[in-house]
């Protein structure tokens, strides 16, 4: 065995061990038929990304699960990869070009794509290297990228298959348009937030009449694109005006008055302006009534040539100018404050526009039906379960998915146009040319679609596209995967679509469990962001505290599905725990110099109460940790490991073992203590490893355990034969005695180093036996000068506590203030009286006693007796003081 360094320095051990693990291929999944498989595909971070606290939480959870399963005898695959992040990556490269006063159009498509690949090759590996710093045990040999050859082939294959099955179509529809990114967005890529705004009431004169309609709008600049006004056909106020024309203010254009049931007669004036080119509802109504579609915006949301004097203005500048002109010309009836929800681009937060555009769509109804069914029947389990309702609601009300994007970086849509715009959809240029030859009877020039696919389209194929190439036997072995760990915020973007595509292509679910964790927020509850300046430098935190401390802190403080309110103070708990484990392990190793675990003859050992107790607690902890990992309550699993190692082992067993280690007269007791220390520490490190891989490996190696690495050792399970309830009860009694003695000392400021006398009056045979067998331990641990117990005389002027069936006294002649002690006893009595009253109330309630099972009643009667006995003893002691 080798001694540990005096000071725990995580930076010195973490890099060393990760390099060793990776070089020895310990993370590699095998094709071993004898082991069950366990697979996680990691949510691919954007290739533009750097490690932030959300990644830390997400990957710490995944790594804990994968290390646990690996140690539990599974053939594990944790699939790494990155996402090409179409819009984000293109924006990044375009900003870099702008530094040289260049645009993508200056380069042309092919040259620009080359630049993006150059950027990806230079910077795209940053986050994967940072994940190594965190200790993520990913099978790096299988690392994938959504635009690598295999994934790209899968994208083309699925697109063509969906198209041929009639599930992909092209059409001119109203879409969400981001003026900043210059592309269409799917409905779920628009984030709505409430904004303070106004409602402008505008007068629309009816032609050849003195009547003026008053129309309310939150976007007065769009009125220039109005091509009608609508009323409800049942509205008696306007029946005679249906079919007539109104004069559009500022433009003088005449637009018709139409009737449609969509109009709410009770809302406002019951008259609605129709702008079919810039509102999805108006677009649908306009189609029903053949209204003109008049687009007044350029793609970057400026007013176009159809707007006359407003041409070239930004939409918000135009709003101000239009309102001023309406007021000047007498068309503005009034302005009211109005809060409304405004949609913003999920990438850049720019306010989106509704825009008519020719796009590609996926029909979602049949795909959503299959995705609903597998969650309804429990094949796919979403945790926390409350998110199932959200999942159902979204899929039951789903709209077709706009999958085309007007950018250059991404999977170019595999569709080709002939000379007469005839469409050919094919997985390759050669296949498209063959289709064209068959169609035209001659070779023709084809032009490929310029749009690329939504990034989420390729991500939806991730669970099988990553496994399908180069060897399909991996797909057969590892699909469906077992667990998906991701944030609830991409339940629709990604999770639901993976379920759809898995069922469509593979006819199987893509994963069995979906574990949705919360968002990491700051102490004020705000989402972390660079703009707010509340997002810490994760690598700097790892440098300062160590990856183990951060990992453990995040898991320990993350209840299932709840957001994490992060502060640097939280990490101090993880760091303190690391230091505690290190220092106690160092002490143990220093006292095992003459000990060889391989030469121990267990028959020569003699286990004492404390040994039986720690083995029992170890096995209970192993059971608890396994159960909580299995149910995805990782915070409780971490607490189980923490409470055992920090409390039971470090604070109690090691302290008690010191008496035996330093006792050279009893060699058997010393050897037994050494054996138990080594065994419990070794198994405890294995219990800790999934949460804190680096420190557990370092100490485990120093222990001289057999094996190459702790990560390939067996994860502890519960040996029921070592669970000893009697030993636990006896030792818990000793713990209570020690705690009570320490409390008495603390309350009257007796130095912890000063020895005191203690008297325990009890007739409980079990307690007497425990005291007899552990008198030496108790005397040393509690710093006692003398210890009397059993049927002994009750002293006067003593500190007093009730411990189980024992009356504990510490004679404090000259040190005790009787009045203070009386107040303490009375306070203790008040609390016990309240507790006793609750139990008495239950047992005197006929409804409770008639319905409660006998074992419940027996438990309550036992509690009642315990409270009454304590109260009687306190009452008697109080009389002695008075």
When pLDDT is averaged across residues 494-510 and rounded to a whole number, the result is: 96
CATH number belonging to the domain at 183-353, selected among 3.60.15.10, 3.40.50.800, 3.90.740.10, 3.20.20.70? 3.90.740.10
Which helix or strand (DSSP H or E) is residue 81 part of? Answer: strand 81-82
Q: Among 189-203, 296-310, 506-520, which stretch is predicted with the lowest mean pLDDT?
A: 189-203
Averaged pLDDT score across all residues of the chain:
92
**SS3 helix, strand, coil % of the chain, rounded to 5?**
50, 20, 30
Specify the pLDDT at position 749: 66
Alpha carbons 714 and 707: distance in angstroms, whole number: 11
Using the predicted structure, report yes or no on whether residue 472 has a pLDDT greater than 80: no
Specify the pLDDT at position 814: 62
Using the predicted structure, report yes or no on whether residue 373 has a pLDDT greater than 90: yes
> Residue 530's pLDDT band (boundaries 50, 70, 90)?
low
Specify the pLDDT at position 286: 92
> Residue 881's pLDDT band (boundaries 50, 70, 90)?
low
Q: For the residues of 130-196, what is the DSSP string, one character each?
A: HHHHHT----GGG-EETTSHHHHHHHHHHHHHHHHTT-EEEEEEEEEEETTTTEEE-GGGEEEEEEE
Residues whose CB falls within 8 Å of the CB of residue 573, separated by 6 or more in sequence, listed in order: 553, 556
Question: Using an 8 Å Cβ cutoff, are 553 and 53 in contact?
Answer: no
For residue 255, the SS3 value is strand
- Which residues on neighbouring strands pair with residue 527, listed in sequence order? 521
Cα distances from 593 to residues 589, 659, 685, in angstroms, run 7, 17, 19
CA-based nearest residue to 64, from 643, 573, 551: 551
Using the predicted structure, report yes or no on whether residue 816 has a pLDDT greater than 70: no
Alpha carbons 65 and 634: distance in angstroms, whole number: 9
When pLDDT is averaged across residues 491-499 and rounded to a whole number, the result is: 94
For residue 197, the SS3 value is strand
Alpha helices in 527-608, H assignment, sequence order: 538-545, 547-556, 568-590
Question: Using an 8 Å Cβ cutoff, are 464 and 479 in contact?
Answer: yes
Specify the pLDDT at position 357: 84
Specify the pLDDT at position 469: 55
pLDDT digits (tens, 9 = 90+) for 218-270: 999 999 999 999 999 999 999 999 999 999 999 999 999 999 999 998 887 89
Domain covering 31-155+457-517, topology: Rossmann fold (3.40.50)
**pTM (predicted TM-score):** 0.82
> Residue 465's pLDDT band (boundaries 50, 70, 90)?
very high
Alpha carbons 588 and 3: distance in angstroms, whole number: 10
CA-based nearest residue to 357, from 157, 155, 182: 182
Specify the pLDDT at position 33: 79
Measured N-to-C along each axis, helices 654-661 and 568-590 cross at an angle, to the nearest 10 degrees, of 20
Pairing of strands 168-178, 756-761: unpaired
Using the predicted structure, report yes or no on whether residue 370 has a pLDDT greater than 80: yes
Sign of the CA dihedral running 148, 150, 151, 157: positive
CA-based nearest residue to 90, from 347, 300, 337: 347
Using the predicted structure, report yes or no on whether residue 650 has a pLDDT greater than 70: yes
Check the annotation: does 783 bind a ligand. Answer: no
The gap from C-alpha 610 to its chain's centroid, in whole angstroms, comes to 40
> Residue 877's pLDDT band (boundaries 50, 70, 90)?
confident
For residue 828, the SS3 value is helix
Question: Using an 8 Å Cβ cutoff, are 432 and 163 in contact?
Answer: no
Chain region(s) in the chain for CATH 3.90.740.10: 183-353
Q: Return the top range by mean pLDDT from 331-335, 712-716, 834-838, 866-870.
A: 712-716
Specify the pLDDT at position 2: 74
Specify the pLDDT at position 112: 95
Using the predicted structure, report yes or no on whether residue 818 has a pLDDT greater than 80: no
Specify the pLDDT at position 1: 63
Specify the pLDDT at position 663: 74
Q: What is the DSSP letter of 220?
A: G
Residues whose CB falls within 8 Å of the CB of residue 530, separated by 6 or more in sequence, listed in order: none
Q: What does the angle CA 361 – CA 365 – CA 369 come to, to the nearest 5 degrees?
A: 140
Maximum separation of any 2 CA atoms in the chain, in Å: 118
CATH number of 564-723: 1.10.730.10
CA-based nearest residue to 626, from 636, 611, 613, 616: 636
Question: Using an 8 Å Cβ cutoff, are 238 and 271 in contact?
Answer: yes
Q: Among 318-332, 537-551, 802-816, which stretch is predicted with the lowest mean pLDDT?
A: 802-816
Q: Please count the residues of the chain.
A: 882
Chain region(s) in the chain for CATH 3.40.50.620: 31-155+457-517
Higher pLDDT, 881 or 665: 665
Q: SS3 for 334-349, per residue?
A: EEEEEEEEEEEECCCC
Chain region(s) in the chain for CATH 1.10.730.10: 564-723
When pLDDT is averaged across residues 109-120 and rounded to a whole number, the result is: 94
Alpha carbons 128 and 582: distance in angstroms, whole number: 29
pLDDT digits (tens, 9 = 90+) for 581-634: 999 999 999 999 888 888 888 888 999 999 999 999 999 999 999 999 999 999
Q: How many beta carbons lie within 10 A of that of residue 537, not counting itself?
A: 12
Using the predicted structure, report yes or no on whether residue 31 has a pLDDT greater than 70: yes
- Which residues on neighbouring strands pair with residue 521, listed in sequence order? 527, 565
> Residue 202's pLDDT band (boundaries 50, 70, 90)?
very high
Which helix or strand (DSSP H or E) is residue 564 part of? Answer: strand 564-565
């Amino acid at each position: 065995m080798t001694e540990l360094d005096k000071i725990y320095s995580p930076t010195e051990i973490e890099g060393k061990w990760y390099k060793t693990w990776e070089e020895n291929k310990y993370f590699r999944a095998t094709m071993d038929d004898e082991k069950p498989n366990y697979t996680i595909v990691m949510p691919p971070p954007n290739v533009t990304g750097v490690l932030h606290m959300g990644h830390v939480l997400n990957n710490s959870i995944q790594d804990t699960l994968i290390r646990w399963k690996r140690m539990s005898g599974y053939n594990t695959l944790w699939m790494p990869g990155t996402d090409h992040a179409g819009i984000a990556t293109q924006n990044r490269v375009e900003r870099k070009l702008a530094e040289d006063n260049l645009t993508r159009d200056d380069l042309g498509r092919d040259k620009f794509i080359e630049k993006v690949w150059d950027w990806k090759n230079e910077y795209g590996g940053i986050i994967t290297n940072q994940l190594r710093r965190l200790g993520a045990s990913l099978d790096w040999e299988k690392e994938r990228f959504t635009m690598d050859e295999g994934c790209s082939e899968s994208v083309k294959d699925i697109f063509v298959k969906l198209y041929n099955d009639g599930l992909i179509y092209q059409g001119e529809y109203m879409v969400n348009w981001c003026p900043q990114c210059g592309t269409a967005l799917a409905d779920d890529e628009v984030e709505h937030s409430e904004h303070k705004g106004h409602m402008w009431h505008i007068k629309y004169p009816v032609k050849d009449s003195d009547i003026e309609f008053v129309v309310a709008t939150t976007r007065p600049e769009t009125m220039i694109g109005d091509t009608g006004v609508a009323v409800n056909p049942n509205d008696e106020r306007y029946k005679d005006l249906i079919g007539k024309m109104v004069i559009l203010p500022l433009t003088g254009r005449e637009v018709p008055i139409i009737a449609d049931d969509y109009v709410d007669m009770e809302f406002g004036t019951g008259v609605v302006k129709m702008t079919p080119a810039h509102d999805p509802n108006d677009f649908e109504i306009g189609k029903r009534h053949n209204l003109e579609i008049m687009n007044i915006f350029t793609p970057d949301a400026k007013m176009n040539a159809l707007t006359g004097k407003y041409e070239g203005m930004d939409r918000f500048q135009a709003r101000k100018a239009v309102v001023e002109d309406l007021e000047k010309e007498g068309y503005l009836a009034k302005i009211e404050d109005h809060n409304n929800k405004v949609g913003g681009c999920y990438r850049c937060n720019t306010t989106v526009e509704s825009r008519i555009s020719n796009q590609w769509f996926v029909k979602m109804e049949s795909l959503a039906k299959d995705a609903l069914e597998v969650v309804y029947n429990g094949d796919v389990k979403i945790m926390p379960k409350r998110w199932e309702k959200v999942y159902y609601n979204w899929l039951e009300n789903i709209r077709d998915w706009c999958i085309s994007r007007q950018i250059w970086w991404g999977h170019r849509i595999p569709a080709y146009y002939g000379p007469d715009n005839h469409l050919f959809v094919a997985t390759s240029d050669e296949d498209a040319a063959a289709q064209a030859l068959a169609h035209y009877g001659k070779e023709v020039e084809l032009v490929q679609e310029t749009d690329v696919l939504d990034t989420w389209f390729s991500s939806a194929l991730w669970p099988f596209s990553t496994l399908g190439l180069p060897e399909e036997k991996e797909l057969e072995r590892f699909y469906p995967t077992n667990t998906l760990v991701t944030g609830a915020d991409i339940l629709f973007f990604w999770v639901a679509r993976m379920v759809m595509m898995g069922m469509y292509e593979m006819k199987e679910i893509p994963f069995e469990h979906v574990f949705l964790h919360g968002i990491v927020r700051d102490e004020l509850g705000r989402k972390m962001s660079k703009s707010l300046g509340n997002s810490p430098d994760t690598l700097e935190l790892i440098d300062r505290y160590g990856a183990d401390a951060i990992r453990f802190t995040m898991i320990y403080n993350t209840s299932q599905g709840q957001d994490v309110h992060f502060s640097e103070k939280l990490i101090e708990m993880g760091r303190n725990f690391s230091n505690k484990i290190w220092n106690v392990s160092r002490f143990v190793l220093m006292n095992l110099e003459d000990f060889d675990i391989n030469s121990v003859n267990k028959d020569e050992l003699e286990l004492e109460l404390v040994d039986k107790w720690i083995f029992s607690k170890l096995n209970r902890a192993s059971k608890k940790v396994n159960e909580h990992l299995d149910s995805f309550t990782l915070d409780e699993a971490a607490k189980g490991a923490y409470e055992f190692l920090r409390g039971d082992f470090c604070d109690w067993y090691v302290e008690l073992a010191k008496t035996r280690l330093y006792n050279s007269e009893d060699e058997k007791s010393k050897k037994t203590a050494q054996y138990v220390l080594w065994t419990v520490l070794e198994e405890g490190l294995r219990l800790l490893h999934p949460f804190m891989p680096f420190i557990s490996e370092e100490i485990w190696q120093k222990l001289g355990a057999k094996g190459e690495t702790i990560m390939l050792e067996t994860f502890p399970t519960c040996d029921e034969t070592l669970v000893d309830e009697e030993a636990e009860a006896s030792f818990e009694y000793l713990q209570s005695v020690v705690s009570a003695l320490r409390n008495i000392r603390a309350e009257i400021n007796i130095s912890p180093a000063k020895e005191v006398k203690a008297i325990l009056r009890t007739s409980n045979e079990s307690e007497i036996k425990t005291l007899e067998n552990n008198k030496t331990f108790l005397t040393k641990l509690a710093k006692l000068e003398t210890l009397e117990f059993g049927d002994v005389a009750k002293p006067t002027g003593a500190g007093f506590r009730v411990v189980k069936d024992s009356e504990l006294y510490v004679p404090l002649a000259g040190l005790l203030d009787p009045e203070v002690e009386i107040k303490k006893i009375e306070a203790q009595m008040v609390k016990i009286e309240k507790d006793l009253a609750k139990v008495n109330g239950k047992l005197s309630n006929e409804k409770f006693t008639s319905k409660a099972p006998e074992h419940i009643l027996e438990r309550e009667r036992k509690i009642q007796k315990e409270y009454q006995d304590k109260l009687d003893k306190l009452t008697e002691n109080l009389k002695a003081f008075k």
